[in-house]
Protein backbone atom coordinates (compact mmCIF):
# COMPACT_ATOMS: atom_id res chain seq x y z
CA UNK A 1 0.00 0.00 0.00
CA UNK A 2 1.30 3.42 -0.96
CA UNK A 3 -1.73 5.08 0.66
CA UNK A 4 -0.64 8.10 2.74
CA UNK A 5 -3.96 9.35 4.04
CA UNK A 6 -3.06 9.08 7.73
CA UNK A 7 -5.12 12.20 8.54
CA UNK A 8 -8.32 10.43 7.42
CA UNK A 9 -7.96 7.94 10.23
CA UNK A 10 -8.00 9.81 13.53
CA UNK A 11 -9.39 8.19 16.65
CA UNK A 12 -12.77 9.67 15.60
CA UNK A 13 -12.93 7.34 12.63
CA UNK A 14 -12.21 3.68 13.57
CA UNK A 15 -13.03 2.12 10.20
CA UNK A 16 -12.91 -1.63 9.60
CA UNK A 17 -11.04 -3.60 6.98
CA UNK A 18 -9.40 -6.94 6.22
CA UNK A 19 -5.60 -7.10 6.09
CA UNK A 20 -2.72 -9.52 5.98
CA UNK A 21 1.04 -9.05 6.26
CA UNK A 22 4.25 -11.06 6.26
CA UNK A 23 3.92 -11.41 10.04
CA UNK A 24 0.20 -12.14 9.86
CA UNK A 25 -0.30 -13.97 6.57
CA UNK A 26 -3.95 -14.92 7.17
CA UNK A 27 -6.34 -12.08 6.27
CA UNK A 28 -8.27 -10.86 9.32
CA UNK A 29 -10.18 -7.87 10.73
CA UNK A 30 -8.29 -4.64 11.31
CA UNK A 31 -8.91 -1.01 12.11
CA UNK A 32 -6.62 1.91 11.40
CA UNK A 33 -5.40 4.87 13.43
CA UNK A 34 -3.10 7.18 11.48
CA UNK A 35 -0.69 4.91 9.64
CA UNK A 36 -1.12 2.09 12.15
CA UNK A 37 -3.15 -0.91 11.09
CA UNK A 38 -4.39 -2.71 14.20
CA UNK A 39 -5.20 -6.43 14.13
CA UNK A 40 -8.39 -6.60 16.16
CA UNK A 41 -8.45 -10.24 17.26
CA UNK A 42 -5.25 -9.53 19.18
CA UNK A 43 -6.74 -6.50 20.86
CA UNK A 44 -9.85 -8.02 22.41
CA UNK A 45 -8.07 -9.37 25.48
CA UNK A 46 -7.40 -5.77 26.55
CA UNK A 47 -9.34 -4.36 29.50
CA UNK A 48 -11.78 -2.08 27.62
CA UNK A 49 -13.14 -5.12 25.77
CA UNK A 50 -13.89 -7.02 29.00
CA UNK A 51 -17.36 -5.42 29.24
CA UNK A 52 -18.49 -6.65 25.83
CA UNK A 53 -20.66 -9.67 26.48
CA UNK A 54 -19.77 -11.70 23.44
CA UNK A 55 -17.54 -14.74 23.71
CA UNK A 56 -17.51 -15.27 19.92
CA UNK A 57 -15.98 -11.84 19.23
CA UNK A 58 -12.31 -12.96 18.95
CA UNK A 59 -13.13 -15.70 16.43
CA UNK A 60 -15.41 -13.34 14.48
CA UNK A 61 -12.51 -10.88 14.20
CA UNK A 62 -10.24 -13.66 12.93
CA UNK A 63 -12.54 -14.27 9.94
CA UNK A 64 -11.21 -13.56 6.46
CA UNK A 65 -14.13 -11.19 5.78
CA UNK A 66 -16.02 -8.68 7.93
CA UNK A 67 -19.39 -10.29 7.19
CA UNK A 68 -19.90 -11.99 10.57
CA UNK A 69 -18.84 -8.82 12.38
CA UNK A 70 -21.00 -6.61 10.15
CA UNK A 71 -24.05 -8.75 10.94
CA UNK A 72 -23.83 -8.01 14.68
CA UNK A 73 -26.15 -5.47 16.30
CA UNK A 74 -25.43 -1.76 16.30
CA UNK A 75 -25.13 -2.05 20.09
CA UNK A 76 -22.17 -4.43 19.82
CA UNK A 77 -20.62 -2.28 17.09
CA UNK A 78 -20.84 0.77 19.37
CA UNK A 79 -19.23 -1.15 22.24
CA UNK A 80 -16.36 -2.40 20.07
CA UNK A 81 -15.81 1.12 18.72
CA UNK A 82 -15.70 2.57 22.24
CA UNK A 83 -13.37 -0.15 23.46
CA UNK A 84 -10.94 0.46 20.57
CA UNK A 85 -11.03 4.19 21.24
CA UNK A 86 -10.47 3.66 24.97
CA UNK A 87 -7.53 1.32 24.31
CA UNK A 88 -5.85 3.77 21.98
CA UNK A 89 -6.72 7.05 23.64
CA UNK A 90 -3.81 6.66 26.02
CA UNK A 91 -1.26 4.97 23.80
CA UNK A 92 -0.88 2.80 20.71
CA UNK A 93 -0.47 -0.90 21.41
CA UNK A 94 2.35 -1.52 19.02
CA UNK A 95 2.33 -5.24 19.51
CA UNK A 96 -1.05 -5.46 17.67
CA UNK A 97 -0.18 -2.91 14.99
CA UNK A 98 1.76 -2.72 11.75
CA UNK A 99 2.49 0.24 9.51
CA UNK A 100 0.08 0.61 6.57
CA UNK A 101 2.99 0.18 4.16
CA UNK A 102 3.64 -3.29 5.57
CA UNK A 103 0.14 -4.71 5.14
CA UNK A 104 -1.92 -5.85 2.23
CA UNK A 105 -5.58 -4.87 2.22
CA UNK A 106 -8.26 -7.27 0.93
CA UNK A 107 -11.93 -6.89 0.01
CA UNK A 108 -13.55 -6.05 3.35
CA UNK A 109 -16.67 -8.20 2.81
CA UNK A 110 -17.91 -11.06 0.69
CA UNK A 111 -20.42 -9.32 -1.57
CA UNK A 112 -23.35 -11.54 -2.55
CA UNK A 113 -25.26 -8.89 -4.48
CA UNK A 114 -24.42 -5.43 -5.78
CA UNK A 115 -26.99 -2.83 -6.77
CA UNK A 116 -25.78 0.34 -8.43
CA UNK A 117 -28.24 3.22 -8.16
CA UNK A 118 -28.07 6.54 -9.97
CA UNK A 119 -29.32 9.32 -7.68
CA UNK A 120 -27.48 12.50 -8.71
CA UNK A 121 -29.95 14.78 -10.51
CA UNK A 122 -27.00 16.31 -12.36
CA UNK A 123 -25.53 13.02 -13.57
CA UNK A 124 -28.84 11.65 -14.83
CA UNK A 125 -29.46 14.82 -16.87
CA UNK A 126 -25.87 15.37 -17.99
CA UNK A 127 -25.52 11.81 -19.30
CA UNK A 128 -28.25 11.96 -21.97
CA UNK A 129 -27.07 15.46 -22.88
CA UNK A 130 -23.51 14.22 -23.43
CA UNK A 131 -24.74 11.25 -25.48
CA UNK A 132 -27.76 12.59 -27.34
CA UNK A 133 -27.82 16.35 -26.79
CA UNK A 134 -31.02 16.23 -24.73
CA UNK A 135 -31.42 16.95 -21.01
CA UNK A 136 -34.21 15.08 -19.27
CA UNK A 137 -34.98 13.60 -15.86
CA UNK A 138 -35.83 9.88 -15.68
CA UNK A 139 -39.58 9.20 -15.74
CA UNK A 140 -39.65 7.72 -12.22
CA UNK A 141 -37.16 10.17 -10.74
CA UNK A 142 -39.53 11.46 -8.05
CA UNK A 143 -41.00 8.05 -7.26
CA UNK A 144 -38.03 5.87 -6.31
CA UNK A 145 -34.26 5.63 -6.71
CA UNK A 146 -33.35 4.19 -10.11
CA UNK A 147 -30.83 1.34 -10.12
CA UNK A 148 -29.66 -1.88 -11.75
CA UNK A 149 -28.07 -5.08 -10.52
CA UNK A 150 -24.30 -5.09 -10.96
CA UNK A 151 -21.67 -7.82 -11.18
CA UNK A 152 -20.06 -9.24 -8.03
CA UNK A 153 -17.29 -11.39 -9.53
CA UNK A 154 -15.45 -8.34 -10.81
CA UNK A 155 -15.47 -6.21 -7.64
CA UNK A 156 -11.85 -5.56 -6.74
CA UNK A 157 -10.04 -3.93 -3.85
CA UNK A 158 -8.37 -0.56 -4.42
CA UNK A 159 -4.96 -0.75 -6.14
CA UNK A 160 -6.00 -3.68 -8.36
CA UNK A 161 -5.11 -2.80 -11.99
CA UNK A 162 -8.04 -2.44 -14.40
CA UNK A 163 -7.66 -3.94 -17.87
CA UNK A 164 -9.33 -2.12 -20.71
CA UNK A 165 -12.32 -4.28 -21.64
CA UNK A 166 -12.96 -5.80 -25.04
CA UNK A 167 -16.44 -5.61 -26.44
CA UNK A 168 -18.80 -4.74 -29.25
CA UNK A 169 -19.75 -1.15 -29.98
CA UNK A 170 -20.85 1.16 -32.76
CA UNK A 171 -18.00 2.17 -35.06
CA UNK A 172 -19.63 5.59 -35.38
CA UNK A 173 -22.69 6.21 -33.19
CA UNK A 174 -23.59 9.26 -35.30
CA UNK A 175 -23.65 7.33 -38.58
CA UNK A 176 -27.05 6.60 -40.07
CA UNK A 177 -26.11 2.99 -40.85
CA UNK A 178 -25.12 1.50 -37.48
CA UNK A 179 -22.07 -0.72 -37.80
CA UNK A 180 -21.12 -2.80 -34.74
CA UNK A 181 -17.41 -3.60 -34.39
CA UNK A 182 -15.38 -5.54 -31.81
CA UNK A 183 -12.26 -4.39 -30.03
CA UNK A 184 -10.78 -2.74 -26.94
CA UNK A 185 -13.09 -0.04 -25.56
CA UNK A 186 -12.31 3.42 -26.93
CA UNK A 187 -14.15 5.27 -24.18
CA UNK A 188 -13.11 3.84 -20.84
CA UNK A 189 -14.44 5.95 -17.98
CA UNK A 190 -14.58 6.09 -14.17
CA UNK A 191 -17.55 6.93 -11.96
CA UNK A 192 -16.87 8.23 -8.46
CA UNK A 193 -19.50 6.90 -6.04
CA UNK A 194 -20.15 5.96 -2.43
CA UNK A 195 -21.43 2.51 -1.50
CA UNK A 196 -23.31 1.29 1.57
CA UNK A 197 -22.50 -2.17 2.92
CA UNK A 198 -25.37 -4.09 4.50
CA UNK A 199 -24.83 -5.09 8.14
CA UNK A 200 -27.80 -6.75 9.85
CA UNK A 201 -29.64 -8.53 7.02
CA UNK A 202 -33.18 -7.84 5.85
CA UNK A 203 -35.06 -11.12 5.44
CA UNK A 204 -37.20 -11.93 2.40
CA UNK A 205 -40.59 -10.28 2.50
CA UNK A 206 -39.81 -8.04 5.48
CA UNK A 207 -39.14 -4.83 3.55
CA UNK A 208 -37.80 -2.17 5.91
CA UNK A 209 -38.88 1.49 5.80
CA UNK A 210 -36.24 4.08 4.92
CA UNK A 211 -36.60 5.72 8.34
CA UNK A 212 -35.50 2.48 10.04
CA UNK A 213 -32.81 1.45 7.59
CA UNK A 214 -29.69 2.78 9.40
CA UNK A 215 -29.95 -0.34 11.58
CA UNK A 216 -29.01 -2.37 8.50
CA UNK A 217 -26.13 -0.24 7.18
CA UNK A 218 -22.74 -1.42 8.45
CA UNK A 219 -20.83 1.41 6.83
CA UNK A 220 -19.75 3.24 3.70
CA UNK A 221 -16.93 2.73 1.18
CA UNK A 222 -15.72 4.48 -1.96
CA UNK A 223 -16.79 2.82 -5.22
CA UNK A 224 -15.37 3.35 -8.72
CA UNK A 225 -17.92 1.97 -11.18
CA UNK A 226 -15.61 1.73 -14.20
CA UNK A 227 -17.63 2.04 -17.40
CA UNK A 228 -16.90 1.43 -21.08
CA UNK A 229 -19.18 4.04 -22.64
CA UNK A 230 -19.05 2.61 -26.15
CA UNK A 231 -19.89 -0.95 -25.07
CA UNK A 232 -22.51 0.35 -22.63
CA UNK A 233 -24.03 2.68 -25.22
CA UNK A 234 -24.31 -0.13 -27.75
CA UNK A 235 -26.05 -2.56 -25.39
CA UNK A 236 -28.31 0.18 -23.96
CA UNK A 237 -29.92 0.65 -27.37
CA UNK A 238 -31.92 -2.30 -26.00
CA UNK A 239 -34.09 -2.08 -22.90
CA UNK A 240 -32.36 -4.37 -20.36
CA UNK A 241 -29.78 -1.87 -19.11
CA UNK A 242 -25.97 -2.06 -18.89
CA UNK A 243 -24.14 -5.42 -18.74
CA UNK A 244 -20.71 -5.73 -20.40
CA UNK A 245 -20.31 -1.95 -20.32
CA UNK A 246 -19.96 -2.24 -16.54
CA UNK A 247 -19.18 -5.83 -15.53
CA UNK A 248 -15.45 -5.89 -16.29
CA UNK A 249 -14.43 -4.09 -13.08
CA UNK A 250 -15.68 -2.22 -10.01
CA UNK A 251 -13.16 -0.96 -7.44
CA UNK A 252 -13.93 -0.42 -3.75
CA UNK A 253 -11.83 1.21 -1.04
CA UNK A 254 -10.56 -1.05 1.77
CA UNK A 255 -11.88 0.88 4.80
CA UNK A 256 -15.53 0.64 5.84
CA UNK A 257 -16.39 3.90 7.60
CA UNK A 258 -19.24 3.27 10.03
CA UNK A 259 -22.37 5.38 10.47
CA UNK A 260 -21.16 5.96 14.07
CA UNK A 261 -18.10 7.72 12.68
CA UNK A 262 -20.22 9.72 10.24
CA UNK A 263 -22.84 10.84 12.79
CA UNK A 264 -21.12 14.22 13.54
CA UNK A 265 -21.31 14.98 9.82
CA UNK A 266 -25.03 14.42 9.35
CA UNK A 267 -26.72 17.10 7.27
CA UNK A 268 -30.14 17.43 5.71
CA UNK A 269 -30.65 15.49 2.52
CA UNK A 270 -31.79 17.17 -0.71
CA UNK A 271 -35.42 18.31 -0.40
CA UNK A 272 -38.04 16.46 -2.41
CA UNK A 273 -40.53 18.51 -4.31
CA UNK A 274 -43.11 15.71 -4.49
CA UNK A 275 -44.45 13.50 -1.72
CA UNK A 276 -43.02 9.96 -1.70
CA UNK A 277 -44.60 6.62 -0.82
CA UNK A 278 -44.70 5.79 2.92
CA UNK A 279 -41.84 3.30 2.95
CA UNK A 280 -39.49 5.88 1.39
CA UNK A 281 -40.71 8.70 3.67
CA UNK A 282 -37.91 9.76 6.00
CA UNK A 283 -38.80 12.50 8.50
CA UNK A 284 -35.16 12.77 9.62
CA UNK A 285 -33.98 12.90 5.98
CA UNK A 286 -30.31 12.69 6.84
CA UNK A 287 -27.29 12.36 4.62
CA UNK A 288 -23.62 13.17 5.20
CA UNK A 289 -21.32 16.12 4.58
CA UNK A 290 -18.70 14.33 2.52
CA UNK A 291 -16.33 15.87 -0.04
CA UNK A 292 -14.73 13.92 -2.88
CA UNK A 293 -11.52 14.78 -4.68
CA UNK A 294 -10.58 12.94 -7.86
CA UNK A 295 -7.39 13.02 -9.90
CA UNK A 296 -5.89 11.47 -13.01
CA UNK A 297 -2.17 10.78 -13.11
CA UNK A 298 -0.85 10.61 -16.67
CA UNK A 299 2.85 10.40 -17.51
CA UNK A 300 3.58 10.84 -13.81
CA UNK A 301 1.76 14.19 -13.56
CA UNK A 302 -1.40 14.56 -11.47
CA UNK A 303 -4.41 16.65 -12.53
CA UNK A 304 -7.40 17.22 -10.27
CA UNK A 305 -10.50 16.35 -12.28
CA UNK A 306 -13.26 16.56 -9.68
CA UNK A 307 -14.10 18.10 -6.30
CA UNK A 308 -17.68 17.55 -5.23
CA UNK A 309 -19.90 16.95 -2.20
CA UNK A 310 -22.44 14.22 -1.58
CA UNK A 311 -25.37 15.87 0.19
CA UNK A 312 -27.06 16.99 -3.05
CA UNK A 313 -27.84 13.36 -3.99
CA UNK A 314 -31.61 13.10 -4.45
CA UNK A 315 -32.16 9.80 -2.62
CA UNK A 316 -30.35 8.69 0.55
CA UNK A 317 -28.80 5.30 1.25
CA UNK A 318 -31.70 4.69 3.66
CA UNK A 319 -34.09 5.13 0.75
CA UNK A 320 -31.99 3.08 -1.69
CA UNK A 321 -31.90 0.11 0.69
CA UNK A 322 -35.63 0.46 1.41
CA UNK A 323 -36.46 0.45 -2.30
CA UNK A 324 -34.24 -2.59 -2.89
CA UNK A 325 -35.98 -4.54 -0.12
CA UNK A 326 -39.60 -3.50 -0.54
CA UNK A 327 -40.65 -6.01 -3.18
CA UNK A 328 -39.62 -8.92 -0.99
CA UNK A 329 -35.95 -9.15 -1.98
CA UNK A 330 -33.61 -10.16 0.87
CA UNK A 331 -30.64 -7.91 1.64
CA UNK A 332 -27.78 -10.03 2.95
CA UNK A 333 -24.87 -8.94 5.09
CA UNK A 334 -22.08 -7.72 2.81
CA UNK A 335 -24.37 -6.64 -0.03
CA UNK A 336 -23.15 -3.46 -1.71
CA UNK A 337 -25.56 -0.67 -2.73
CA UNK A 338 -23.84 2.20 -4.51
CA UNK A 339 -25.03 5.74 -5.11
CA UNK A 340 -24.19 6.25 -8.76
CA UNK A 341 -21.91 9.01 -10.02
CA UNK A 342 -21.86 11.88 -7.50
CA UNK A 343 -21.69 14.73 -10.02
CA UNK A 344 -22.76 18.20 -8.89
CA UNK A 345 -23.90 21.30 -10.74
CA UNK A 346 -20.52 22.80 -11.74
CA UNK A 347 -18.01 21.58 -14.30
CA UNK A 348 -15.41 21.07 -11.53
CA UNK A 349 -17.93 18.80 -9.81
CA UNK A 350 -18.43 16.29 -12.61
CA UNK A 351 -17.53 12.79 -11.44
CA UNK A 352 -17.06 10.94 -14.74
CA UNK A 353 -15.47 11.75 -18.10
CA UNK A 354 -18.62 11.24 -20.16
CA UNK A 355 -19.92 14.39 -18.46
CA UNK A 356 -16.61 16.26 -18.14
CA UNK A 357 -15.63 15.88 -21.81
CA UNK A 358 -19.15 15.55 -23.27
CA UNK A 359 -18.48 11.97 -24.31
CA UNK A 360 -15.03 12.93 -25.59
CA UNK A 361 -16.30 15.67 -27.90
CA UNK A 362 -15.01 18.52 -25.68
CA UNK A 363 -11.63 17.33 -24.38
CA UNK A 364 -10.08 18.80 -21.26
CA UNK A 365 -6.35 19.43 -20.93
CA UNK A 366 -4.33 17.58 -18.31
CA UNK A 367 -1.34 19.08 -16.45
CA UNK A 368 1.05 17.12 -18.68
CA UNK A 369 -0.39 19.01 -21.66
CA UNK A 370 -2.20 16.01 -23.12
CA UNK A 371 -5.85 15.98 -24.13
CA UNK A 372 -8.30 14.17 -21.85
CA UNK A 373 -11.18 12.54 -23.69
CA UNK A 374 -11.36 9.13 -22.06
CA UNK A 375 -8.84 7.06 -20.10
CA UNK A 376 -5.63 5.94 -21.79
CA UNK A 377 -3.55 2.87 -20.95
CA UNK A 378 -1.25 3.78 -18.07
CA UNK A 379 -3.55 6.42 -16.60
CA UNK A 380 -3.97 6.20 -12.83
CA UNK A 381 -7.38 7.22 -11.48
CA UNK A 382 -7.46 8.00 -7.77
CA UNK A 383 -10.16 9.51 -5.61
CA UNK A 384 -10.53 10.20 -1.93
CA UNK A 385 -13.27 11.54 0.29
CA UNK A 386 -13.41 13.14 3.72
CA UNK A 387 -16.29 13.88 6.09
CA UNK A 388 -16.63 17.50 7.22
CA UNK A 389 -13.46 19.50 6.74
CA UNK A 390 -10.16 17.69 6.36
CA UNK A 391 -9.15 18.47 9.96
CA UNK A 392 -12.05 16.43 11.39
CA UNK A 393 -10.02 13.26 11.02
CA UNK A 394 -12.69 11.12 9.38
CA UNK A 395 -11.99 10.09 5.80
CA UNK A 396 -12.29 7.13 3.49
CA UNK A 397 -8.68 6.84 2.34
CA UNK A 398 -8.44 6.32 -1.37
CA UNK A 399 -9.82 4.24 -4.20
CA UNK A 400 -7.29 3.85 -7.00
CA UNK A 401 -6.82 1.90 -10.22
CA UNK A 402 -4.26 1.90 -13.04
CA UNK A 403 -5.43 1.23 -16.59
CA UNK A 404 -3.77 -1.72 -18.31
CA UNK A 405 -4.02 -2.52 -22.02
CA UNK A 406 -6.81 -4.83 -23.14
CA UNK A 407 -5.91 -8.52 -23.16
CA UNK A 408 -5.06 -9.99 -26.57
CA UNK A 409 -7.65 -12.34 -27.96
- Number of Cβ within 10 Å of residue 200's Cβ equals 17
DSSP state of 208: -
Could you tell me which of 256, 254, 224 has the C-alpha nearest to residue 104? 254
Q: Does 332 bind its own copies (CB under 8 A)?
A: yes
* Residue 138 binds its own copies, judged by CB under 8 A: yes
Of 43, 197, 210, 331, which one interacts with its own copies (CB under 8 A)?
Answer: 331
The yes or no reply on residue 407 touching its own copies (CB under 8 A) is yes
For residues 170 and 36, what is the distance between their CA atoms, to the nearest angstrom? 49
109 vs 331, which CB is nearer to its own copies? 331
Stretch that binds its own copies, among 23-31, 148-156, 253-261, 381-389 (CB under 8 A): 148-156
Q: Is 199 in the site for its own copies (CB under 8 A)?
A: no
d(CA 152, CA 91): 40
Distance CA 302, CA 305 (A): 9
Q: Which ranges constitute the DSSP H helices of 18-120?
A: 57-61, 67-70, 74-90
Instruction: Report whether 212 belongs to an annotated binding site.
Output: no
The whole-angstrom separation of Cα 277 and Cα 343 is: 26
**Counting contacts by CB under 8 A, is residue 178 touching its own copies?**
yes
Question: Taking CB under 8 A as the rule, does residue 330 contact its own copies?
Answer: yes
* By the rule CB under 8 A, 323 interacts with its own copies: yes
The least distance separating its own copies from the CB of residue 241, rounded to whole angstroms, comes to 3
How many angstroms separate the CA atoms of 39 and 50, rounded? 17
Query: Closest approach of Cβ 184 to its own copies, in Å?
Result: 10
Question: Considering only residues 268, 328, 345, 362, which one is a binding residue for its own copies as defined by CB under 8 A?
Answer: 328
402 binds its own copies (CB under 8 A): no
Distance CA 88, CA 82 (A): 10
Q: Under rule CB under 8 A, how many of the chain's residues touch its own copies?
A: 63
Question: Can you point out the beta strands (E) in 301-372?
Answer: 301-309, 336-338, 364-365, 371-372
- Answer for which of 63, 112, 173, 309 binds its own copies (CB under 8 A) is 112
Minimum CB separation of residue 204 from its own copies in Å reads: 7
Q: Which residues contact 271 (CB under 8 A, 6 or more apart)?
A: none
d(CA 353, CA 359): 7
Spot the catalytic one: 8, 77, 123, 216.
123
Q: Is 249 in the site for its own copies (CB under 8 A)?
A: yes
Q: Looking at the chain, how many residues does it have? A: 409
Tell me, yes or no, if 123 is annotated catalytic. Answer: yes
Phi, psi of 133 (to 5 degrees): 80, 15
232 is in an annotated binding site: yes
Which 3-state string (H, E, C) describes 188-200? EECCEEEEEEECC
- From residue 333 to residue 372, what is the string marking binding to its own copies with x (rule CB under 8 A)? --x-------------------------------------
For 121, residues 6+ apart whose C-beta sits below 8 A from its C-beta are 137, 141, 270, 312, 314
281 is in an annotated binding site: no
Question: Judged by CB under 8 A, does residue 378 bind its own copies?
Answer: no
Q: State which residue, 73 or 168, has the beta carbon closest to its own copies.
A: 168
Q: Where are the alpha helices (DSSP H) in 44-137?
A: 57-61, 67-70, 74-90, 121-132
Tell me which residues are annotated as active site.
Answer: 123
Annotated binding site: 116, 191, 193, 225, 232, 246, 250, 341
**Which residues in this chain contact its own copies in the complex, by CB under 8 A?**
112-113, 115, 118, 138-140, 143-144, 146-154, 163, 165-168, 178, 180, 182, 204-207, 228, 231, 234-245, 247-249, 277-279, 323-324, 326-332, 335, 406-407, 409
Amino acid sequence: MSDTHAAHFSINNIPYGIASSIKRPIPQAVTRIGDNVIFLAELVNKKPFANIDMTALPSILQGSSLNAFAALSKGIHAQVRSAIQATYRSKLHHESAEHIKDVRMHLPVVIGDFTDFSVSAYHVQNAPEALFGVRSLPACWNNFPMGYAGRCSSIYISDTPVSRPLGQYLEDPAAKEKKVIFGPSRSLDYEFELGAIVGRPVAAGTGVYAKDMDEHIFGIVLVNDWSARDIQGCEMRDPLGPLNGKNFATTVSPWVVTLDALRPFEVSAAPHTQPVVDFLEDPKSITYDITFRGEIVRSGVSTEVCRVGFSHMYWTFRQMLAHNSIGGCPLNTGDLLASGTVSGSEKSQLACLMELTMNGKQPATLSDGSALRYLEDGDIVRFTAVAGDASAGVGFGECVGTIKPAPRM
